[in-house]
Amino acid sequence: MRNRYLDLLRFLAIVRVVVYHVTGWATLTLVFPAMSVMFALAGSLMAASLTRSGPAAVGRRLRRLLPSLWVLAAVFVPAMLLTGLPVTPRVLLWLFPIADPPANHWGALALSIIWYLRDYLWFVLASPVALWLFRRAPLPTVLAPYLLLVTIEVGIYPAPPMLREFGLYFGAWLLGFAHHAGMLRRLTGRVLYPVALALAVSGGAWIVGHPGPRGYDLNDNHLGNALWSAAFILIVLGRAPAGLAWLGRSRLADRVVTVVNRRALTVYLWHMPFVVALTPLVDVVGWSHQDPVGLAIRVLLVFVLVGVVTLAVGWVEDVAARRRPELTPGGSTRPAGRPTRSPP
């Protein structure tokens, strides 16, 4: 049975990512550190899959991850090749993005969100060993990525960008392991809240002391991002409610959460090209970031366009998950016809 609370968190994270990319509001990254939450949820699901299926879970997770990317690549890679992208063997990284796949001048921005799939791919491949270590030494395993990031950020170890990404987001992935194991839920309030407060204060102090080019945007501050996000994850997963009855009572809300969860990868991959395509409207219509009406229209347009693409190609996620393809998932599965009487 699906955990609807986790589905709700994923829904909120996806919506927050799209709204942030349209508006550029740095405050949203502090209010809801969506990327770390998404990695934590993915880590919890990966731990569950490994527990259930063993190393075969890696192949299944990749099977669910890659087809949606291939659909995106089938549209954008030929377009980039026709507009100046050189044909090199690195183009094959669009099939298996173990490193950043190449892009030309416009594709680099429109497809900049591919870094998430690159990191996700690495984390999936590392998960069997990481889960083995986690089960034997949970706390040292969870702390290791954060300690790595500290050594990088203070200049002790000038690591390559991939290791920095491990330090930033693999810690959240491992917190997902701890959630699956029930460790976060078993933490008492006397432990959980002081630890979360200490992480939030430390992360907040680092952010204030090291502002980036966009001010206090978590995306410009790796260490502050990791600490602040860890505090957020400890609270939202460590004190997760047992159920979400109110969501089931609202048919519309329940359906929307289901659809976005079943199409999360499609929404994530396709929203940024539309954000970039609509950016010229700022100059033509005058919708600046200080114009609430203009921003609202831009957000609405991006969601509408993403919805259209999701209707067109979102079923690929069903095929990748070996589900019956649906135009809009989550509908009633009861066959049509006259209702039958219940036996007395």
The model's pLDDT over 13-57, given as tens digits with 9 standing for 90+, comes to: 999 999 999 988 999 999 999 999 999 999 999 999 999 999 999
Are 98 and 122 within 8 A, CB to CB?
yes
Please tell me the least confidently modeled range out of 115-119, 204-208, 250-254. 250-254
Residue 332 parent element (H or E): none
pLDDT higher than threshold 50 for residue 63: yes
User: Taking the mean position of all CA atoms in its chain, how far away is CA 331?
Assistant: 24
Neighbours of 342 (CB within 10 A): 5
pLDDT in tens, 104-162: 999 999 999 999 999 999 999 999 999 999 999 999 999 999 999 999 988 887 877 77
DSSP state, residue 215: B
Q: In the predicted model, what is the mean pLDDT of residues 209-220?
A: 88
> How many CB atoms neighbour CB 104 within 10 A?
17
| Short-list 127, 135, 111, 141, CA closest to 62 | 127
Question: How much is the pLDDT for 340?
Answer: 38
If you search the block for the tokens 């991939």, which residue do you land on? 162
Closest CA to 314 of 268, 283, 255: 268
How many angstroms from the chain centroid is the CA of residue 68?
Answer: 15
pLDDT at 156: 86
In which residue are the tokens 């396709």 written?
270
pLDDT above 50 for 336:
no
Please check whether residue 60 is in contact with residue 323, taking contact to mean a CB–CB distance below 8 angstroms: no
pLDDT of residue 283: 62
The whole-number pLDDT of residue 1 equals: 59
> What are the tokens at 96?
């298996």
**DSSP code at position 212:** B
Name the pTM for this structure.
Answer: 0.92
3-state secondary structure (DSSP) of residue 82: helix
Tens of pLDDT, residue by residue over 305-324, are: 999 999 999 999 999 999 99
Task: Assign 278 a pLDDT band (cuts: 50, 70, 90).
Answer: confident
Instruction: Find out whether 18 and 269 touch, Cβ atoms under 8 Å.
Output: no
- pLDDT score of 327: 87
- The more confident residue out of 230 and 241 is 230
